[in-house]
Chains A and B, each alone.
Chain A
Amino acid sequence: MSKVIEGLYYSESHEYVRVEGEYGFIGITDYAQHALGNVVYVDMPEVDDEVTAGEEFGAVESVKAASDLISPVSGTVVEVNEALEDEPELLNKDAFGNWIIKVQLSDPAELDALMDAKAYESHCAE
């Protein structure tokens, strides 16, 4: 069974946001990394790029699949997880421990539209 963590916000396309103050750390869920298999590359935006809720900001590639990353929230990228450039497999090892981008949230109200852990769990079970 895939892991789900309390206290995070989840999207239907299997991204999560961990909120710390005005910042959101966006990554993919454990369920998503399972579905993808061995991750070989993470296509990330650059610092200062704008991301918009519901729109693509990058992609995660495995050998035989590629999945767009859809931002659950809007804001400005303030940091990208550079460790993933050399070790994309970190997403397989610990998806929740390895966020992909850190975003300064422009509209925290968007978080209300996302799922909590319980709702996400049943979303995955569907």
Chain B
Amino acid sequence: MNNKLYGNLIFELSKEGRKGYSLPKNNFGSYEIPASMQRAEEAQLPECDEMTVVRHYTNLSNNNFGVDTGFYPLGSWTMKYNPKINEEMAALPKFQCLHPEQPAATTKGALALVSLLERSLCELTGLAHFTFKPYAGAHGELTGLMTIDNYHRSCGDVRKKVIVPDSAHGTNPASAAVCGLEIVEVKSLADGTVDFDDLQRIVAEQGAEIAAMMMTNPNTLGLFETRIPEIAKLIHGCGGLMYYDGANLNPMLGACRPGDMGFDVMHINLHKTFSTPHGGGGPGAGPVGVREGLQEFFPFVSPYYGNFGVMMRAYAYILSLGREHVKEVGPLAVLNANYIKESLKDVYELPIDTICCHEFVFDGLKDKSTGVTTMDVAKRLLDYGYHAPTIYFPLLFHESLMIEPTENESKETLDAFIDVMRRIAEEARTNPDEVKSAPHTTPIGRVDDVLAAKKPITTYRQLKAEAQL
């Protein structure tokens, strides 16, 4: 790629006097901003013409890999196809122009969309109400926990403990801490599911203090918690609520609804299950759903309807699939995952050999004698034109390699990926150095993390100061 030619920072392309904008004329007469208001030093922003800006960012995009580029089996993130029609709908001027403080009588269409999306999500999850304020999955999680905390407070109940499986996403404990709650970890069995005996012990000892239990189902290993009805009964029995982390909702479309499993509160990552683009890390949306009666405890975590543009995309997706196809999402995603798993388990270590849901975890290569690690396999995949799976998560295994293909991938794509994974396993034996030094074909090689963290250079100003030393 053209990293050498176009690897500059926009600041390095700047030349005094150039401009990339055009503004209307000032027809208002002379209104001068008083000097007392003004900053002493001007912001050192670049000065570039329009095409330079366009070319710069176009070339930067060429150094990126997205779902539209190729197979992106990043476990836990549900990198499904982001339909183009959704983008067009979210860009409609009749919505783009709405100021959020406009009176309701002038925003009827937007408000109708909110309630139509809410109704659809209720139907798909088995819950009764949704708030759209949360901006992201983690924000939804926090909102859900605040809802639970508000509920217990309203009952005059001091419950500050949240049970979280030790295999949970790191966000769960972090969200609980921000909500002022304390984590109690419940152990996992060897197969990654909740140790029910340990859970019973926790409930027996601390039941009166338990605010909620947070779970993903299927769990972070892609396995369905079959004892979920008993778990919900146990937690409800001690006065706690069940929280569903919607990160892994995709395989449940067409199979199970969190509300029916006994969950009281959940968030949905619209950017996972409902096909809105991840945008390099955001914006997403994390609407929170609750059982009837809990909606009055929704907290004020943002001023308006969250990331409304993301909601528009999700609704376009739901309409496109419709009743007929939304229920096919889960089964096809699960089939794709199982197909890869079964096709690779003779060369990659499969610690839990059973039917998985939408994703599964290998514990590195089966043949550990080569010294080739999960990191090496991931980097070598980049050479072959694939995004890497999620690596070193979950923490239950040392060499976790978590693969989630989504329902959108064809058998040919999966077969080609399987071939490459097998080829890498072969290379690990025959030419391990090639794998350990991968990637070779990407715009840059492996980066020095230690150098970056030891003396952080995070701005152009620091970069220039450093260069002068």
**A residues less than 8 Å from B43 (CB atoms):** none
* Nearest 5 A/B pairs, CB to CB: A40-B453, A63-B449, A40-B454, A38-B450, A63-B453
In Å, the complex CA distance between A89 and B455 comes to 12
In Å, the complex CA distance between A88 and B456 comes to 13
**A residues less than 8 Å from B450 (CB atoms):** 38, 40, 63
**B residues less than 8 Å from A63 (CB atoms):** 449-450, 453
> A23 near B: Cβ within 8 Å?
no
> A41 near B: Cβ within 8 Å?
yes
By beta carbon, the residue of chain B nearest A89 is B454
In Å, the complex CA distance between A40 and B449 comes to 10
In Å, the complex CA distance between A38 and B449 comes to 10
In Å, the complex CA distance between A63 and B450 comes to 6
- B391 to chain A minimum Cβ distance, whole angstroms, is 11
- A111 to chain B minimum Cβ distance, whole angstroms, is 31
**B residues less than 8 Å from A89 (CB atoms):** 454
In Å, the complex CA distance between A89 and B450 comes to 10
In Å, the complex CA distance between A41 and B453 comes to 8
Contact with B along A34-48 (1 / 0, CB 8 A): 000010110000000
| Interface set, chain A 77-116, CB cutoff 8 A to B | 88-89
By beta carbon, the residue of chain B nearest A38 is B450
Chain B interface size band reads: under 10
Q: A63-B453, A88-B454 are in contact. List 11 more A-B contacts (CB 8 A).
A: A38-B450, A40-B450, A40-B453, A40-B454, A41-B453, A41-B454, A61-B453, A63-B449, A63-B450, A64-B449, A89-B454
Interface size for A (C-beta < 8 A) is: 8
- A107 to chain B minimum Cβ distance, whole angstroms, is 28
| Interface set, chain B 421-469, CB cutoff 8 A to A | 449-450, 453-454
In Å, the complex CA distance between A125 and B453 comes to 31
By beta carbon, the residue of chain A nearest B452 is A63
By beta carbon, the residue of chain A nearest B454 is A40
By beta carbon, the residue of chain A nearest B392 is A64
- B155 to chain A minimum Cβ distance, whole angstroms, is 33
In Å, the complex CA distance between A61 and B450 comes to 11
Chosen A-B contacts, 11 in total, with CB atoms closer than 8 Å, are: A38-B450, A40-B450, A40-B453, A40-B454, A41-B453, A41-B454, A61-B453, A63-B449, A64-B449, A88-B454, A89-B454
**A residues less than 8 Å from B453 (CB atoms):** 40-41, 61, 63
**A residues less than 8 Å from B449 (CB atoms):** 63-64
By beta carbon, the residue of chain B nearest A63 is B449
**B residues less than 8 Å from A40 (CB atoms):** 450, 453-454
- A43 to chain B minimum Cβ distance, whole angstroms, is 13
Contact with B along A52-72 (1 / 0, CB 8 A): 000000000101100000000
**B residues less than 8 Å from A88 (CB atoms):** 454
By beta carbon, the residue of chain B nearest A64 is B449
In Å, the complex CA distance between A80 and B454 comes to 19
**A residues less than 8 Å from B454 (CB atoms):** 40-41, 88-89
**B residues less than 8 Å from A64 (CB atoms):** 449
**B residues less than 8 Å from A38 (CB atoms):** 450
Contact with A along B205-242 (1 / 0, CB 8 A): 00000000000000000000000000000000000000
In Å, the complex CA distance between A89 and B454 comes to 9
In Å, the complex CA distance between A88 and B460 comes to 25
In Å, the complex CA distance between A41 and B454 comes to 7
In Å, the complex CA distance between A40 and B454 comes to 5
- A90 to chain B minimum Cβ distance, whole angstroms, is 12
- A83 to chain B minimum Cβ distance, whole angstroms, is 14
By beta carbon, the residue of chain B nearest A88 is B454
In Å, the complex CA distance between A64 and B170 comes to 14
By beta carbon, the residue of chain B nearest A37 is B450
- B469 to chain A minimum Cβ distance, whole angstroms, is 14
**B residues less than 8 Å from A61 (CB atoms):** 453
By beta carbon, the residue of chain B nearest A86 is B455
- B288 to chain A minimum Cβ distance, whole angstroms, is 30
In Å, the complex CA distance between A40 and B452 comes to 9
- B170 to chain A minimum Cβ distance, whole angstroms, is 12
